[in-house]
Amino acid sequence: MSEEKDILTNLEIVKELLAKRKLVEDLVHRQEMPRHELVEDMVQKQHPVGLHSLLERIPLAEIAAIIESLEPEDRLLVWNEVREERGEAILEILTDEIREDLICDSHLRNEKTSVTAFELRNGRLSQISVNTPYDLKCLKPIWIDLVAPTPEIRAWVGRFFDVQLPNPNHLTDLEASARFYVEDNGEIHLHSDFLLDTKEGSRNVAVALILHRDVLFTVRTEELPVFRLQRLRARTQPGYVTDGKDVLLDLYAADAEYSADALEDVYAALEVVSKHVLGTEVTDTEAAKILADIAREEDLNGRIRRNVHDTRRAVSFLTRGKFLNSEQLDDARQILRDIESLDGHTSFLFNKINFLMDATVGFVNINQNKIIKIFSVASVAMLPPTLIASIYGMNFQGFFPEIHWQYGYPFSLGLMFISIAVPFWFFGKKGWLR
């Protein structure tokens, strides 16, 4: 009972801190001031201090309960303030749905060097941090994961396992034909792109995957949601993987799943844009924002398609090379079927993007045509008074009795006014002014 009370108390404190943070950020965002972006960035960095210190004092189980009780947006804000070392333990407590949402929606800001070994214990992956060659001597790993490794680390890991590990910073320089191959000693090399979709933007991250003596080596420049998700599933679900090839296939399966989630986000974003474009009259300012949103989703959709095609090539290479057993072949074929459906969905979204782009540009053209029509009507309406003024400006004697007429000037002005009013009345009756 006391524990439940503590959770509720801490939950209220967290909600209050989040509300204050949003209020301050909103006020700062609205203010006009010099160096506005710098001030806003400083506020965003300083305000989470109270939340971070609170989370450091709370037990892991309470943090998990608080995260599950929050809205998705607030949930992510709290999760980003959890220290990485505690995060892995919290993920194992959370429900599968929330766990996967947090992993896919957040991106570890660490690009620090890390080497992690994974070995099977009781059917589950056991994670061991590796700092020196001596840490590997008593291990029988099926997976070695290297994040942003230095040349020295790549060297001693390579010497220990007798494998040549590539520089992750040079993977994108490889020709497409050299990304999937088998060495003379039986090493299987695959250099694939894995999707990374964050709020700051999306990109494809190159990863080297090497199968050497049934041990999978992965080399990359940064942490990826797909890898975290794979590690977590293999640690929590007995029998999820049995060897390095299983890990390899599951990484590609998780990548396809991650791409599917990203496609759903693209579709949801386009639905919002579609309602705005087709449901209301779009102004030029709104159209500019809509076009920017569409361009962003088009870029993400293109990256997803590229990622899907790359994954298809990698899995097809594995199936053609007869590297897999019958059960793994079935898994590979299922991945290819999933990819095929994703490919069709990306094509559908490209068509939807093109339609919304054309519709938005069409509304911009309509708005411009309205402006041009107003100028055209004004020009036509001003022709008669211009003609009247030019006629009376000729000053020929004998033909203009109005020249010596006392009311000649007001008469000409009245005539000009009538000549303007009549075209506008006519255009209005025809509906040309709408």
Specify the CATH number for 369-430; select among 3.40.50, 1.20.58, 1.25.40, 3.30.70.
Answer: 1.20.58
Rg of the chain in Å (alpha carbons):
33
Specify which residues 119 forms β-bridges with.
Answer: 126
Identify whether the C-beta of residue 124 lies closer than 8 Å to the C-beta of residue 264: no
CB atoms within 10 A of CB 134: 9
Where along the chain do its domains lie? 2-105, 110-242, 369-430
pLDDT surpassing 60 at residue 355: yes
Mean pLDDT of the chain: 79
One-letter amino acid of 349: L
**pLDDT mean over 391-412:** 71
Quote the CA–CA distance of 413 and 303 in Å, as a whole number. 66
Q: Quote the CA–CA distance of 131 and 314 in Å, as a whole number.
A: 31
431 three-state secondary structure: coil
> Under a CB-based contact definition with an 8 Å cutoff, are residues 78 and 14 in contact?
yes
138 pLDDT exceeds 70? Answer: yes
Distance CA 124, CA 118 (A): 9
Q: Is the pTM of this model over 0.75?
A: no
Per-residue pLDDT reduced to its tens digit, 29-58: 555 545 444 444 454 455 556 677 777 777
* CA gap 128, 254 in Å, rounded: 22
Least confident of 97-106, 125-134, 376-385: 97-106
- Bridge-based pairing of strands 188-198 and 180-182 is antiparallel
Q: From residue 315, how far is each of 82, 96, 121, 213 by CA, in Å?
A: 36, 26, 27, 19
Note the CATH architecture for domain 110-242.
2-Layer Sandwich (3.30)
pLDDT at position 48 is: 58
Structure tokens belonging to residue 354: 């093109």
Whether 394 has a pLDDT exceeding 80, the answer reads: no
Render pLDDT for 294-349 as a digit per residue (tens, 0 to 9): 888 898 889 999 899 999 999 999 998 888 888 999 999 999 999 999 888 888 88
pLDDT for residue 145: 92
Q: What is the mean pLDDT of residues 341-363?
A: 86
pLDDT band at 411; cut points 50, 70, 90:
confident
Half-sphere exposure of 130 (CA within 13 A, CB side): 28
String of DSSP letters for 359-381: HHHHHHHHHHHHHHHHHHHHHHH
Encode burial over 31-40: b for 16+ CB neighbours within 10 A, e otherwise: eeeeeeeeee
d(CA 204, CA 194): 5
Distance (Å, rounded) from C-alpha 74 to C-alpha 19? 9
How do strand 114-121 and strand 124-130 relate by DSSP bridges?
A: antiparallel
Which tokens sit at 202? 């999306």
In this prediction, residue 210 carries a pLDDT of 93
Using CB atoms within 10 A of its CB, is residue 158 exposed (0-12), middle (13-18) or buried (19+)?
middle
Q: Tell me which residue of 288, 303, 296 sits closest to 270, measured CA to CA.
A: 296
pLDDT band per the 50, 70, 90 thresholds, residue 143: very high
The contacts of residue 282 (CB under 8 Å, 6+ apart) are: 276, 290, 360, 363, 364, 367
pLDDT tens-digit profile of 147-183?
989 888 999 999 999 999 988 887 765 565 678 888 8
> Which residues, other chains included, contact 430 with Cβ-Cβ below 8 Å and sequence gap of 6+?
none
Place of tokens 């009345």: 425
Task: Tell me the DSSP string of 69-88.
Answer: HS-HHHHHHHHHTS-HHHHH
